[in-house]
């Protein structure tokens, strides 16, 4: 099933979010303006705005406020991608040159900061302090997660518990916030808001673990960036945790202290593809998807609830 069909309940609103982004990403500073437009050109599935919009269906929301909130969260996501690319010195994002490649590291950093600021400005104009509190908490968690990832590079002894905490902060928090913000702007009940927020957290964890899996299973075209990029940059993801249970694999892994050569990475990739580590990773993704769908059980039956379940299943099976 395609995302287009899953978004059927909010297709019009997703398109409005895109138009809103185009009109509000502009800056009087030409370089920041060009950088923002380059990032928009790279596209994206708009999964996070869709979660905001779908979560709002369990209450009543003003459409203009809803579009503003969804677009604000997407700006935070876009800013985090820009900063990610600077940290990883990435050349490609969704198969297209990153902002850093078009301009330089400094411009990319300040462009990301600009997007963060614009997101707070826009959501602040809705006039609901709780929305701003959730957004600020989200941004703080993202920044702390990024710093943790920097310090964890090439630390092959770190625990799975630390990895899960890191991806909660780096990725899951944004999808959790999507559902939380949608529920708040629609004045959902406390019970429904909690169910939607926890659903978002589990989907966020599944999303990141699926992304970590794709780093080893997708081809360069599907992924939109080089394969095994996380491993090359010293990021210990779940497939590597499972692979590292093997003594020979761990011994080879532990010798990598900086950007490895192809010869160093090739035997590690070969082992992961035949050891069952990738299959175990998919099982973990499925666990979080199943748990997320269970979170929705207390919510009333509706087309939006079915769409959330379908998005969850899409996340568990996505190829890029």
Task: Kindly list the structural domains of the chain, giving each domain's residue range(s) and its CATH number in brackets, ordered by start.
Answer: 3-317 (1.10.600.10)
In 3D space, the residue among 230, 236, 210, 228 whose CA is nearest the CA of residue 152 turns out to be: 236
Instruction: Name residue, tokens 């990832």.
Output: 149
- How far apart CA 195 and CA 209 sit, in angstroms, is 21
Res. 224: pLDDT tops 60: no
* Structural contact between residues 313 and 5, judged by C-beta atoms closer than 8 angstroms: no
pLDDT score at 43: 62
Confidence of residue 320 (pLDDT cuts 50, 70, 90): low
pLDDT score at 189: 97
Of the two residues 154 and 27, the one the predictor is more confident about is 154
pLDDT score at 79: 87
* Structural contact between residues 215 and 231, judged by C-beta atoms closer than 8 angstroms: yes
**pTM above threshold 0.85:** yes
Res. 223: pLDDT tops 60: no
Tokens standing for 55? 């979560």
pLDDT digits (tens, 9 = 90+) for 255-279: 999 989 888 999 999 999 999 999 9
- Kindly provide the residue ranges of all beta strands, DSSP E only, lying in the chain, ordered along the sequence: 92-93, 96-97
- How far apart CA 171 and CA 304 sit, in angstroms, is 23
pLDDT digits (tens, 9 = 90+) for 150-197: 999 999 999 999 999 999 998 999 999 999 999 999 999 999 999 999
pLDDT score at 124: 95
- 23-29 mean pLDDT: 80
Give the percent of the chain with pLDDT over 90: 65
Instruction: Name residue, tokens 């406020």.
Output: 65
pLDDT score at 23: 84
Max mean pLDDT among 75-84, 94-103, 166-175 falls in: 166-175
* Residue 9 per-residue DSSP state: G
Q: Judging by beta carbons within 10 Å of its beta carbon (0-12, 13-18, 19+), is residue 34 exposed, middle or buried?
A: middle
Of the two residues 92 and 22, the one the predictor is more confident about is 22
- How far apart CA 180 and CA 193 sit, in angstroms, is 6
Max mean pLDDT among 27-36, 153-162, 209-218 falls in: 153-162
What lies within 8 Å, CB to CB, of 228 at 6+ separation is 215, 216, 265, 269
Of the two residues 38 and 146, the one the predictor is more confident about is 146
pLDDT score at 222: 56
pLDDT score at 220: 58
Confidence of residue 28 (pLDDT cuts 50, 70, 90): confident
Res. 84: pLDDT tops 60: yes
Tokens standing for 150? 């920097």
Of the two residues 98 and 132, the one the predictor is more confident about is 132
pLDDT score at 181: 98
CA distances from 168 to 162, 198, 203 (A): 10, 12, 10
Q: Judging by beta carbons within 10 Å of its beta carbon (0-12, 13-18, 19+), is residue 224 exposed, middle or buried?
A: middle
In 3D space, the residue among 139, 12, 16 whose CA is nearest the CA of residue 70 turns out to be: 16
pLDDT score at 92: 62
pLDDT score at 276: 96
């Amino acid at each position: 099933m395609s995302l287009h069909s899953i978004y059927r309940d909010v297709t019009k609103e997703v398109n409005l979010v895109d138009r809103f982004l185009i009109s509000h990403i502009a800056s009087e500073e030409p370089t920041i303006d060009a950088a923002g437009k380059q990032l928009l050109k790279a596209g994206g599935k708009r999964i996070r705005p869709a979660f905001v919009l779908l979560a709002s269906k369990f209450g009543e929301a003003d459409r203009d406020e809803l579009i503003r909130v969804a677009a604000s969260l997407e700006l935070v996501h876009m800013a985090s991608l820009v900063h990610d690319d600077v940290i990883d010195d990435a050349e490609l994002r969704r198969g297209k040159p990153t902002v850093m490649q078009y301009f330089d590291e400094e411009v990319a950093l300040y462009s990301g900061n600009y997007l963060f600021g614009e997101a707070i400005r826009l959501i602040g104009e809705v006039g609901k302090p709780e929305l701003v509190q959730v957004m600020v908490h989200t941004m703080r968690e993202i920044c702390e997660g990024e710093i943790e990832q920097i310090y964890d590079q090439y630390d092959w002894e770190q625990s799975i518990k630390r990895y899960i905490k890191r991806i909660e902060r780096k990725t899951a928090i944004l999808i959790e916030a999507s559902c939380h913000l949608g529920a708040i702007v629609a004045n959902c009940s406390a019970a429904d808001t909690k169910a939607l927020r926890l659903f978002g957290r589990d989907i966020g964890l599944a999303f990141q673990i699926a992304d970590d899996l794709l780093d080893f299973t997708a081809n360069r075209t599907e992924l939109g960036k080089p394969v095994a990029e996380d491993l090359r940059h010293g990021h210990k993801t779940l497939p590597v945790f499972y692979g590292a249970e093997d003594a020979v694999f761990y011994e080879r892994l532990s010798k990598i202290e900086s950007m490895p050569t192809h010869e160093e990475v090739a035997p590690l990739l070969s082992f992961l593809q035949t050891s069952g580590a990738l299959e175990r990773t998919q099982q973990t993704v499925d666990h979080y998807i199943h748990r997320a769908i269970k979170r929705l059980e207390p919510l009333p039956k509706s087309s939006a609830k079915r769409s959330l379940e379908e998005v969850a299943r899409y996340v568990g099976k996505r190829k890029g």
